[in-house]
């Protein structure tokens, strides 16, 4: 009887060990398959560049002009919605681009009008993720002032600098600057939903807190949204660094990291400002699953 009791105690102990082991395995196993994910590309404007050599500190692209696209993205994670970048300010709608300027931005449609087409109300956006603090990525952020702003910690800090770095306009994120909405400054990489499905990846260089976004779509596979680690595909081939980047060495290191991640994961790399990459995702209002 005593032996039986001891054996039972042992087997109960063994069972609890097994249960604990299974729980640990569950914690360490990627939960990617569980997340129901969907990704839409939105039109967030375009920027005509009068002299493309302004995007090269090695004097490449002399005499070239280029229209860069400005794109934003919506990610549905189960019942949660995240916006990735918010494009150019809606005040540009209806205005002709000023072609005398080195950079001439234009916008034809705002984000809420596009969200309406896919049945999403602006107040359903719980997270506004920002690749970096430049005006062509923060433009319509304040439309979503109930959302948590996720931005690289270095870029959140730069919004408070005096003088402000090139391209940084704190007024575009006034609700968060005023403490009226929640800010989540992201240091290093961040697993946005805690299940490995959506990752903000630290890619400093263009700005102090630049990030790219990796989305593990169940059917499409991994999609890597570049932020402004590069602005167009040629920059990848020739290690192109714009002279207005904050740090040249970090820019090159981040480009190396981004390209290696794309290769290792066989991810679809979408360069957000490259009009040639629009076709890498389904045409709106269709989504990638």
Where on the chain is the footprint of Zn ion (CB under 5 A)? 136, 228
Q: Are 74 and 83 in contact (CB under 8 A)?
A: yes
CB of 86 or CB of 197, closer to Zn ion: 86
Write b or e for each residue in 12-47: b if 16 or more Cβ atoms lie within 10 A of its Cβ, otherwise e. eeeeeeeeeeeeeeeeeeeeeeebebbbbbbbbbbb
Nearest-approach distance from CB 228 to Zn ion, in angstroms = 4
Nearest-approach distance from CB 36 to Zn ion, in angstroms = 30
Q: Tell me how many helices (H) and strands (E) the chain has.
A: 7, 12
Nearest-approach distance from CB 131 to Zn ion, in angstroms = 8
Tokens of 128: 């506004």
* Full strand arrangement of the beta sheet holding 66-77: 103-106, 37-49, 66-77, 80-84, 125-130, 148-152, 183-186
CB of 136 or CB of 234, closer to Zn ion: 136
Q: Are 83 and 130 in contact (CB under 8 A)?
A: no
Kindly state the helix (H) or strand (E) to which residue 191 belongs, with its residue range: strand 190-191
Nearest-approach distance from CB 135 to Zn ion, in angstroms = 8
CB of 40 or CB of 232, closer to Zn ion: 232
CB of 76 or CB of 132, closer to Zn ion: 132
Nearest-approach distance from CB 125 to Zn ion, in angstroms = 20
CB of 103 or CB of 265, closer to Zn ion: 103
């Amino acid at each position: 009887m005593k032996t039986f009791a001891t054996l039972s105690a042992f087997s109960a102990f063994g069972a609890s060990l097994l249960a604990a082991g299974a729980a640990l395995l569950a914690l360490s196993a990627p939960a990617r398959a569980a997340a129901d994910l969907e990704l839409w590309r939105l039109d967030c404007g375009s920027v005509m560049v009068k002299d493309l050599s302004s995007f090269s500190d090695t004097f490449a692209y002399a005499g070239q002009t280029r229209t860069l696209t400005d794109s934003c993205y919506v990610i549905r994670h189960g019942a949660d919605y995240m916006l990735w970048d918010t494009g150019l300010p809606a005040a540009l709608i209806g205005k002709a681009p000023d072609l005398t300027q080195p950079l001439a931005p234009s916008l034809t449609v705002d984000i809420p009008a596009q969200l309406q087409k896919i049945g999403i109300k602006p107040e359903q956006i719980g997270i506004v993720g920002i690749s970096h603090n430049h005006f062509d990525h923060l433009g319509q952020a304040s439309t979503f002032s109930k959302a948590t702003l996720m931005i690289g910690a270095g870029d959140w800090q730069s919004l408070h600098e005096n003088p402000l770095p090139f391209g940084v306009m704190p007024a575009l994120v006034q609700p968060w600057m005023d403490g009226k909405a929640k800010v989540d400054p992201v240091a290093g990489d961040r697993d946005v939903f805690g299940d490995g499905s959506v990752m903000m990846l630290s890619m400093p260089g263009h700005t102090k807190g630049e990030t790219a976004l990796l989305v593990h779509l169940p059917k499409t596979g991994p999609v890597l949204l570049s932020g402004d680690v590069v602005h167009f595909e040629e920059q990848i081939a020739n290690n192109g660094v714009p002279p207005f980047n904050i740090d040249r060495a970090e820019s090159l290191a981040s480009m190396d990291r981004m390209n290696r991640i794309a290769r290792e994961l066989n991810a679809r790399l979408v360069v957000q400002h490259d009009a040639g990459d629009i076709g890498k995702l389904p045409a709106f209002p269709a989504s990638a699953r």
